[in-house]
Amino acid sequence: EVKLVESGGGLVQPGRSLKLSCAASGFNFNDYWMGWVRQAPGKGLEWIGEINKDSSTINYTPSLKDKFTISRDNAQNTLYLQMSKLGSEDTAIYYCASAIYYSYWGQGVMVTVSS
């Protein structure tokens, strides 16, 4: 069974950093691009970015490129999202997704940016 489990969310103060993880199992993690998508409360889906199999290509949505960093550890079957300079606009559920056309999604992790 394919599983993607996000972790690392929570309440964080404005201007601080936070790192999310996405643990993958049930498929060959090394064979797939991985992506992050977020959803602000009551809003639609926003693509954050993606990373290819060997981390040689990483794409971001332009507005987040200077704040967020995507990485992966194929030995640990884990995807990461390092977020910095967080603001209230970053409050959202963060999903990791994998496989062609994002066939698999995690359950999401909530990040709340507030003082």
Partner 1 sequence: DIMMTQSPLSVAVTPGESASISCRSSKSLLHSNGITYLSWYLQRPEKSPQLLIYQISNLASGVSDRFSGSGSGTDFTLKISKVETEDVGIYYCVQFLEVPLTFGSGTKLEIK
Binding site for partner 1 (CB under 8 A): 35, 37, 44-47, 49-50, 59-62, 95, 100-103, 105-108
Tally of CA atoms within 13 A in the half-sphere of 69 that contains its CB = 7
Residue number, 38 or 72, with CB nearest to partner 1: 38
Provide the minimum distance between the beta carbon of 1 and partner 1 in the complex, in angstroms, as a whole number.
Answer: 13
- 55 token code pair: 């981390």
Provide the minimum distance between the beta carbon of 75 and partner 1 in the complex, in angstroms, as a whole number.
Answer: 26
Provide the minimum distance between the beta carbon of 16 and partner 1 in the complex, in angstroms, as a whole number.
Answer: 25
Residue number, 14 or 66, with CB nearest to partner 1: 66
How many H helices and E strands in the chain? 0, 11
Which residue type occupies 61? Answer: T
Residue number, 44 or 75, with CB nearest to partner 1: 44
3-state helix, strand, coil in the chain (%, to 5): 10, 50, 40
